[in-house]
Amino acid sequence: MKYPPIPPRRAASCGCGYLAAFVALIVITSLQIQHHHLKVDLGRSDYAAATATQQRRREGGNGAAARWNWNRRTGAEGLPRGIVQTSSDMFLRPLWDPAANRAIPKNKNDRHKALLAMAVGISQMQNVDVMARKFLNESYTVMLFHYDGNVDGWRSLEWSDKAIHIVAPNQTKWWFAKRFLHPSVVAIYDFIFLWDEDLGVENFDPRRYIDIMVSEGLEITQPALDPDLSTDIHHRITIRNKMTKVHRRVYDNRSSMNCSDDSKGPPCTGWVEGMAPVFSRAAWKCVWHLIQNDLIHGWGLDMKLGYCAQGDRAEKVGVIDSEYVVHQGIPSLGGPSDTSKLPRRSLDLRTHIRRQSSAELEKFKERWEKAVREDDEWMDPFDA
């Protein structure tokens, strides 16, 4: 039986060949992409392993782990430990002549460094001159915040070139402090004096004052006010007690005050006024964060400073009586400067300033209360 011959196979169509080539191209491209991602992932893995190894090596030395963790917290983990500069200072450096770049001047008692920072105007230059000399004579640093824009007028003072001068028209010391006294910048200083310009310091010695702060374990203080010569005293706790070196509370039987041994907070204890506060380094780290960036008059801060006292505010906050000052009560800030204009309204500038200060006080209170309500993890250490 004969079978019919098998017909010859026809060649695959050209269209199928193109499709197969296209599919192969897609597969090859996909494999290349996967290979690239694999290399990246392996690189990351190697970096993580190297970082972990580096950390383990650092942890091998005494205290090295803590330093490495500190670098990570501050964003310096990408740097070798020896290059990290953890602090700064306000000492002036020459632009030329390396030989003139002398070592950092040391305090006479060689124990503590202090910074005096003040908002000043040219009308108070004579008084500021006396204040600055007191601190410069102890090799402390002086920083002047010029709110009237006048710096050249201070050039006649022999110590002017030794001070730091910062200019911003019609700004308060709290505005300046928030912007130029960041804790990382002033970390070299053991004490920060953030003072007004109208204080008489005839009976004040900054070195003895600091020694008292240290010996008494105080973190936030102010010098007492001479009741006989001061013209502007608002709170009894700031008045000098001639019988003591330091006092931490005031006694007042008036119904509006009712301050006794049972009192636990301001204005009876744990409180200083905003005109002449002095902060330890640890306290300032906290206070700087408490200062509100936009509330430049600082009203309300005094009632909350005790939260930065590094402990019981009734013990860590005090008024130093043996080193006292005179508050002259001169309202110079707010006068016209070279770049300011008097308001068209006849209302006195000081009235405008007081109104704004009062409004800022209410804002500060609202912010504090809101922050307390919203922070479930925070507990008031002074809440009875």
User: How are beta strands 317-327 and 199-200 bridged, if at all?
Assistant: antiparallel
Q: Of 55, 86, 54, 51, give the one whose Cα is nearest residue 69.
A: 55
Three-class DSSP category at 21 = helix
Give percent above pLDDT 70 in the chain. 73
Q: What does the pLDDT read at residue 4?
A: 58
**160 exposed, middle or buried (CB, 10 Å; 0-12, 13-18, 19+)?**
middle
| Mean pLDDT on 39-67 | 48
The shares of helix, strand and coil residues in the chain, as percent rounded to the nearest 5, are 40, 15, 45
Residue 282, both tokens: 């640890």
Condensed to tens digits (0 to 9), the pLDDT of residues 328-339 reads 888 766 554 444
Condensed to tens digits (0 to 9), the pLDDT of residues 106-124 reads 555 557 899 999 999 999 9
- Domain assignment present for residue 89? The answer is no
- Domain assignment present for residue 149? The answer is yes
Q: Determine the Cα–Cα distance for residues 225 and 247; give it in Å rounded to an integer.
A: 12
Q: Determine the Cα–Cα distance for residues 92 and 202; give it in Å rounded to an integer.
A: 28
Q: What does the pLDDT read at residue 336?
A: 45
Query: Domain count of the chain?
Result: 1
- Domain assignment present for residue 339? The answer is no
Domain extent for 305: 102-332
Q: What does the pLDDT read at residue 271?
A: 94
Three-class DSSP category at 143 = strand
- Domain assignment present for residue 258? The answer is yes
Using pLDDT thresholds of 50, 70 and 90, give the confidence band for residue 232: confident
| Mean pLDDT on 256-277 | 91
User: How are beta strands 114-120 and 191-195 bridged, if at all?
Assistant: parallel
- Domain assignment present for residue 71? The answer is no
DSSP state letters, 225-261: E-TTT-S----GGGB--TT-SEE-B--B-STTT-B-T
Q: Of 186, 45, 39, 177, give the one whose Cα is nearest residue 113.
A: 186
Q: Determine the Cα–Cα distance for residues 92 and 145; give it in Å rounded to an integer.
A: 16
Three-class DSSP category at 269 = strand
Packed helices 64-74 and 14-59: angle between N→C axes, nearest 10 degrees = 130
- Domain assignment present for residue 381? The answer is no
- Domain assignment present for residue 265? The answer is yes
Condensed to tens digits (0 to 9), the pLDDT of residues 185-228 reads 999 999 999 999 999 999 999 999 999 999 999 999 999 999 99
Using pLDDT thresholds of 50, 70 and 90, give the confidence band for residue 253: confident
Q: What does the pLDDT read at residue 342?
A: 47
CATH number for the domain including 282?
3.90.550
Q: Of 326, 246, 210, give the one whose Cα is nearest residue 237.
A: 246
Condensed to tens digits (0 to 9), the pLDDT of residues 134-170 reads 999 999 999 999 999 999 999 999 999 999 999 999 9
User: Would you say residue 125 has pLDDT above 80?
Assistant: yes
- Domain assignment present for residue 119? The answer is yes
Q: Determine the Cα–Cα distance for residues 240 and 259; give it in Å rounded to an integer.
A: 17
Cis peptide before 267, with omega less than 30 degrees from 0? yes
Q: Determine the Cα–Cα distance for residues 137 and 289; give it in Å rounded to an integer.
A: 31
